[in-house]
Structures are given as C-alpha cells and as structure tokens.
Amino acid sequence: MKVLVLGLPRTGTQSLADALIQLGISPIYHMREVGKNQHQALWIEAIDAKFEGIGAPWKREDFERILSGFQGVADYPASIFPAELAAAYPEAAVILSIRSEDKWYDSMLATLVHAHRRREKSDDASSSPMATLSRKYHHHCWGDDFEVTGRAFFREHNALVRELGRDRKFLEWQPQDGWGPLCEFLGVEAPVEGTPFPRSDDWVEYKKMVERERLATAGQE
C-alpha cells in the first residue's frame, strides 16, 4: 500500500484517486470498487467490528481480504477507518483531502445523504447489499441526523487524520491545489504542462435526475 487518502467523501476523493492513477499509483480502491467486487458484506463486517463490537477490530490481514493488490485507497468505505488503516499500513503515505465545511455539508446533503434517504423509501431498501452498507455508515458516522451532527463529524474526522499524520508522511490537500503539491509530496514528475487535473464526479447524473424531478414537481403545482 502506497497511499491512504483518508478525507471524507465529497472532498475531491474521486478526482484525487484518478490523479493518483495517472501518476502511476494504481489501482486505487474507491467506493465504485465496492459493488464491482461485491465487497458490501466485508465492509459491513468491518463496520460491525468497529462500532458494534461484533468480532475483533480489523487489522492488516482483515483489510487485505478487500485491499490486496491495491496501491491506494480513497473515499468511503475506506475512510470510515482512518486509525485502523493507518495502523494496518504504516508504510503508506497519508493524504487528507479537504474542502470548506459549508461546501462539504451542502454537497453531502445533495448526494450521499439525499440518495440514502431516497433509497430507504424504495421497495428494495431492506434487501439491497449497498443499502445495508449505506444504512450502517449513516447510522454510525452521524447518527442518522446529518443536519444536526454532520458538521461536528467533519471536524472530528479531519482532526483525527491530522493527528494520525503527525509521525508519518502526510499531506493536506484540496482540489484547487492541483498537481503541484501532490506530485512534490509523492516525489514524482508532474504530467506534461497543460494536463488538466481530473475533475471526476460520479454524482453528476444523479444530481441532474434530482433536478429534473424537482422541476417536474414544480410544474405540476
């Protein structure tokens, strides 16, 4: 394992994952890998061990059941386990991806939180493996009340990752920083001048769909 990106979702984690791949650190384990590899049950097992005391806390050999072969991690579910991953992979550099608290809060409400609440109202809410995983982390991370506790969780999480980075190779990075600080931190050459930094967002189509539904509803009033 080379890099642990331990910032929360909606802090540029997908763009950062794609940038690391362009820089030769590949593959990167991102949320999109969960369903592709049918890892939902394993992550639920890890969450149960961490928050519910079901089984022993996960160590390297446990995470390797999911992360073997990957050179980095980014986004949820991995960043639910900052201390555990930092201990499991002491050789890995740590990156804390950040953005302003207000922008993060608004983005979370428009994506992960909105989609979770929408899913919970659907017919397959009880049977979908991804829904079960989502239900677990929404409960344990912000107590199913993001509006009330989300901001505090953001601050506490970032403070913890900064503390974890005190005695190892550590970078605090935000999307507008682009290639420069990242390449210097990793000790690699920057891409050819003019190469745009990835601006990846798996939620673009979801947000468009929600907006279309909002406009359709407004038109019926």
Class of domain 3-189+201-220: alpha beta
Put simply, whether the predicted model's pTM sits higher than 0.85 gets the answer yes
pLDDT at 129: 84
Tokens 């097992």 belong to 45
Residue 78's SS3 state is helix
Residues in the chain: 221
Q: How far is residue 135's CA from residue 44's CA, in Å, rounded to a whole number? A: 10
Q: How confident is the model at residue 211 (pLDDT cuts 50, 70, 90)?
A: low
Task: Find the range with the poorest average confidence among 68-77, 124-133, 173-182, 184-193.
Answer: 124-133
- Residue 137 CB neighbours (<10 A): 19
Q: What does the alpha-carbon distance between residue 51 and residue 173 come to, in Å, rounded to a whole number?
A: 28
Q: What is the pLDDT of residues 36-74, one digit of tens each?
A: 999 999 999 999 999 999 999 999 999 999 999 999 999
From residue 24, how far is each of 13, 48, 180 by CA, in Å? 17, 34, 16
Q: How many CB atoms lie within 10 A of CB 115?
A: 15
